[in-house]
């Protein structure tokens, strides 16, 4: 395993790298992880949003 291939675990700070997503570039905290997906919590000013992404579309910051 390479150093850049760190596992994404709950509590990790991640950024969305999916070019097709409207959340591309957003940074958030991983709340839950399943086999291939992670629920990421975005907090911004007066809103909070929990969105699920494929692990391949996330990168640890």
Structural domains of the chain, ranges and CATH numbers in brackets: 13-60 (2.30.30.140)
The answer to whether residue 44 scores a pLDDT higher than 90 is no
User: pLDDT tens across 20-33, in order?
Assistant: 999 999 999 999 99
pLDDT, averaged across the chain: 91
Q: Among residues 19, 2, 6, 23, which one has the least CA distance to residue 61?
A: 6
Residue with more model confidence, 13 or 3 = 13
pLDDT classification of 52: cutoffs 50, 70, 90: very high
Burial class (CB in 10 A: 0-12, 13-18, 19+), 22: exposed
């Amino acid at each position: 395993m390479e150093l850049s291939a760190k596992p994404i675990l709950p509590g990790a700070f991640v950024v969305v790298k999916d070019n097709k997503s409207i959340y591309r570039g957003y940074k958030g905290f991983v709340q839950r992880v399943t086999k291939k997906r992670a629920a990421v919590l975005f907090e911004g000013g007066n809103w909070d949003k929990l969105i699920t992404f494929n692990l391949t579309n996330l990168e640890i910051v």
